Amino acid sequence: MMPQTVPRPTAGAARCKRCILHARCLPLGLERDALQSFDAILQLPRPLKRGETLVRQGDPFTSLYVVRSGSLKQSLVQGGRRGQVLNFYLAGEIVGLDGIGEQRYHSSVVALEATFVCKLPFTRLEDLAERVPGLRGQLYRCMSRELRNDQRMLCLLSGRTAEQRLASFLIGLSERFRSRGCSPYRFHLSMSRSDIASYLGLVLETVSRTLARFQEQGMLSVSGRELVIHDHEALSMLAREGVSGGCRLAPQSD
């Protein structure tokens, strides 16, 4: 039987060396000594309840957080609008990077389910990074990964159909679960339809309808938040490209 959710951390085990996320977390590739120093600044996993806020937009920036288990959503309030969902964070991902550089968190992050996070006070992390080039590199890598991620999102939101957006989203999730050792074909959506809609620049009715259509076409089954992907191939085809062969080419200036 395949695990349907991300594995829980062994209770109380804060040391990175034994952490199941070792391979995909920030201290990846650190030497034995450096890893111990890293361990020393890392604070014990903190439990968050569903709906609990980890960082609040505008609050002073103090720490990065690594998701140990569970999931969160990042959202941004601008103007009169309700929070635009910018990202979902799964185990091993880093929360708070957009706060570096300003003194404040630029967005809010809220737990979508029971969630554990490890806290990394940034000043201490920076001190350590000063002495450990590998860690500095990892930090850059994380930020630039986030950058690339946002850029992928920009492409997705720019002139793609609802079907393509949703397919992309599901395939993306699927891959992330796969790389965490969970089934890429059967998983639980910890976010609401309206979170997904906001993330994809749609309204929740459209998400609902599009999921229904995918189900009719036999590509997947959804029941509430339980998802089973039947035709991963078809779905990722949709995600990668326009379904109808005709990708209309914008005239390239130059």
Partner DNA sequence: CGAGGTGTTGAATCAAGTCAAGTTTCGTGG
Partner DNA sequence: CCACGAAACTTGACTTGATTCAACACCTCG
- Per CB under 7 A, does 184 bind DNA? no
63 or 71: CB nearest DNA: 71
Contacts of residue 250, Cβ cutoff 8 Å, sequence gap at least 6 = none
Site string for its own copies, 121-150 (x = CB under 8 A): -----x---x--x--xx--xxxxxxxxx-x
Strands of the sheet with 84-89, listed across from one edge:
53-55, 108-111, 72-76, 84-89
For 6, 65, 90, 219, the CA distances from 16, given in Å and listed in that order, are 17, 14, 17, 39
- Asked whether the CA dihedral 135, 140, 144, 147 is positive or negative, the reply is positive
Q: Give the nearest distance from C-beta 202 to DNA in angstroms.
A: 4
Stretch that binds its own copies, among 19-27, 217-225, 226-234, 244-252 (CB under 8 A): 244-252
Positions in 18-77 near DNA (CB under 7 A): none
Print burial letters for 193-204: b (CB count within 10 Å at least 16), e (below 16).
Answer: bbbbbbbbbbee
d(CA 96, CA 106): 8
Provide φ and ψ at 182, rounded to 5°: -100, 165
180 binds its own copies (CB under 8 A): no
Min CB(12)–its own copies separation in Å: 28
Number of residues engaging DNA in binding (CB under 7 A) = 27
**d(Cα 85, Cα 152) in Å, to the nearest integer?**
15
Check binding of 142 to DNA (CB under 7 A): no
Among 12, 79, 245, 251, binds DNA (CB under 7 A): 251
Asked if 84 contacts 75 with a C-beta cutoff of 8 angstroms, the reply is: yes
* Residue owning tokens 């690594």: 66
User: Residue 193, interface with DNA (CB under 7 A)?
Assistant: yes
Q: Which of residues 196-235 bind its own copies (CB under 8 A)?
A: 197-198, 200-204
Query: For binding to its own copies (CB under 8 A), which residues are involved?
Result: 50-51, 76, 78-84, 86, 97-102, 106-107, 110, 126, 130, 133, 136-137, 140-148, 150-155, 157-159, 191-192, 194-195, 197-198, 200-204, 240-242, 247, 249-254
Query: For binding to DNA (CB under 7 A), which residues are involved?
Result: 159, 161-163, 192-194, 201-209, 211-212, 222-225, 248, 251-254
